[in-house]
Structure 1
Amino acid sequence: MPLGAPSDSRQVWLPAELTSLTGLPAGLRYAHWDGRSPFPSDPAAVEFYVPPLVQDIGVISRPLDRMTRLKAVQALSSGTDGLGTRLRRLPGRVTLCNAQGVHARSTAELALTLILASLRRIPEFTGAQGREAWRPEASASLYGRSVLIVGYGAVGSALDELLTPFGCAVTRVARTDRDSPRGPVHRVGLLPRLIAGADVVVLTTALTAETHHLVDAELLARARDGALLVNVARGAVVDTAALLARLRDGRLRAALDVTDPEPLPAGHPLWSTPGVLITPHAGALTTTMWPRLEALIRRQLERFAADEELDNIVVY
């Protein structure tokens, strides 16, 4: 059966949060699943699957082996780590799509927040507030600092735009050399040289076989003393053991929205290492997220029902 061919029996699973989503194309049957409850219908009939917005790949993957008619999966995240591997195990070819662009501005906003909070010592001041201690201390400013953005897609370019008022010297790194509206983008092979000149290094790259542990002990050794590493990409882009070594010797600070492992377990040394600010993978989680996701899903289902190629297709 071709992708999107009309049929009254075709089943679509949507996240439980989208029970009020309107304007969906006719000719498809819709069910909603929260990832915890029993399956809302027979998975074998599902042809279009929008998984729950959870970080646990085990939850997302639980019905996949039974989805024998599956044609398309629309992830609600920009990253699809591990999902392609699971889809390859299915008997037929499944089109995997991500939510690229939907979360770009909110994730870039959090990256900027983490930079400012770390440089201006907000965690330390918050701790002092809890102790009712009035202790003014000088902190670093973002104005005029050199910022290295590693991964210049939707999130990286959105962050570049947010940095404009701060007069930062921005260096951009992606897989290959190219031009962008805001300046040149350098190939990732130059990263060992470029990181040495950066006050702030922000990771916004996708997690792939090539970027796994991209930031390792050797690269961190080339970083400027006192540099701030901000990760809003995926935890495994960074070698956690290597990062901990540099944090403990006081050479680096870090602000992490993502970690490896994740969720970060109780007792992990990242929780208590000085100079570390941690947020719980919350870059995309804003009150404006769902309207944007609804627009994406509605558009994708319209294309699916009309037998048109879907947007945001991931090669896996």
Structure 2
Amino acid sequence: MTADVWLPFPADEVPGLPENLTYHFWDGAPEYPTDPAECAFYVVPYMKGASVAMRPLRTMQSVRAVQTLSAGTDHVQPGLQGLHPGISLCNARGVHEASTAELALALTLASLRGIPGFVEGQRQERWRSGFYPALADKSVLIIGYGSIGAAIEDRLAPFECARVVRVARSARETARGQVHPIDALPELLPEADVVILSTPLTEDTKGLAGAGFLARMKDGALLVNVSRGPVVDTKALLAELESGRITAALDVTDPEPLPAGHPLWHAPGCLISPHVGGSTSAFLPRAKRLLAAQLTRFAAAEPLENVVLTTE
């Protein structure tokens, strides 16, 4: 007896899949490939939005595992409500760390060194020389010190930062040093030149970077968000940007996609990329290796990795 698996890639394009499962290709199309009630392992289509991700879930009566291809699972969790207990929700830990950390560093460097102004100057044929901030000798605060936060610190290492400070939900020690608890932010924020958000979106982190948080950032500090848009209070951020007190580099926004005419597009000191932290050439090979490994465990009735929660 085999189990149905829904994949967002054709099965013959994913090396190493176990043969004792039945694979169906679904990437979010209006028509389902087979009856969702028979699906045992559901791999959520990547970057198709919450409505697509959750659409088949309500009728997946046999599902035992839901696998996202994103680091975050906030777009899927509401769809698990009301389903039977024992469903494992797994994220894509190991897939996006390198790409997201690359972008976090790129946004930081581009913002500090004035790259957006140079691009505009090139269009206008203007030579914008002068002195610009460097990352060297800066204090960097990483909020959300999971695998992505650690990967960001890996890439900061050669840049001669004065200090890298780590914050997570709770305190712990790592090989690199102390990770501070999130309730230490009021004391840590005023000392940071660069604040990088890499935390998942949860009820606790929604609106984390609100008016009080932003007010505690030092004058001239840079906020970099590679987590989720709602982690930042957009109205509060706009007020700070328009005052010129801080700057920001955002790969994610709230709302998202950012609509035409939204004031964030033209806010002073704000660099925006269109949520491309994980969507790079590194994604497909790593995602396929993850799926082959997870499904091999599933077929052998072994515990899955990257389990974020189990329904009760």
Are 2:77 and 1:97 aligned?
A: no
State TM-score, norm by structure 1: 0.94
Paired position in structure 2 for 1:46: 39
Cα distance in 2, alignment partners of residues 249 and 188 from structure 1: 27
Q: 2:50 aligned with 1:57, yes or no?
A: yes
Q: Is the 8 A contact 2:94 2:286 kept in 1?
A: no
Match of 1:198 among 192, 203, 221: 192
CA offset digits 1:231-289 (Å, max 9, x no partner): 00111111111111000000110000011111111111111111110111111111121
Match for residue 224 of structure 1 among 218, 221, 233:
218
Matched residue SS, 1:277: strand
1:109-120 pair list within 5 angstroms:
109-120=102-113
State the aligned residue count. 309
Aligned to 2:68: 75
Of 92-101 and 299-308, more deviation after overlay is shown by 92-101
1:149–1:201 contact (8 Å) kept in structure 2: yes
Question: Which aligned runs of 4 or more in structure 1 are off by greater than 6 angstroms?
Answer: none
Distance between the aligned counterparts of 2:101 and 2:113, measured in 1? 18
Q: Gaps spanning 5+ residues in structure 2: where?
A: none
Partner of 2:264: 270
> Is residue 2:148 matched to residue 1:155?
yes
Contact conserved, 2:11 with 2:24, CA < 8 A, in 1?
no
Task: Indicate which of 291, 294, 297 corresponds to 1:300.
Answer: 294
Provide Cα deviations, 1:92-112, integer angstroms capped at 9, x if missing partner.
Answer: 432110011221121111000
Q: State the match for 2:208 in structure 1.
A: 214
Which of 109, 114, 118 is residue 121 of structure 1 equivalent to? 114
Q: After superposing the two structures, state which structure 1 stretch, 89-98 or 79-88, moved more.
A: 89-98
Gaps of 5+ in 1: 1-6
Structure 1 pair 306–172 and aligned structure 2 pair: CA distance change class (3 A): same
Mapped pair 1:185 → 2:179: yes
Give the Cα–Cα distance (whole angstroms) in 1 for the partners of residues 18 and 177 of structure 2.
Answer: 42
TM-score by length of 2: 0.96
Q: Deviations over 1:91-136 (max 9, x none)?
A: 4432110011221121111000000000011011101111222222
Distance change (3 Å), C-alpha of 1:16 and 1:295: closer
SS of the equivalent of 1:314 reads: strand
Contact 1:19 1:32 in 2 (8 A): no
What is the SS of the residue equivalent to 1:135? Answer: coil
Please say if residues 44 and 69 of structure 1, whose CA atoms lie closer than 8 Å, have aligned partners that are also in contact.
yes
Residues 22 and 216 of structure 1: CA distance in aligned 2, closer, same or farther (over 3 Å) = same
1:255 is paired with a residue of what secondary structure?
strand
Is the 8 Å Cα contact of residues 8 and 25 (structure 2) preserved in structure 1? yes
Aligned to 1:3: none
Instruction: Measure how far apart 1:305 and its partner are.
Output: 0.7
In structure 2, the residue corresponding to 1:13 is in which secondary structure?
A: strand
Contact 1:45 1:69 in 2 (8 A): yes
**Are the aligned partners of 1:213 and 1:237 in contact in 2 as well (CA < 8 Å)?**
yes
Distance, in Å, in 2 between the alignment partners of 1:93 and 1:265 is: 39
Q: Distance in 1 between matches of 2:217 and 2:23?
A: 51
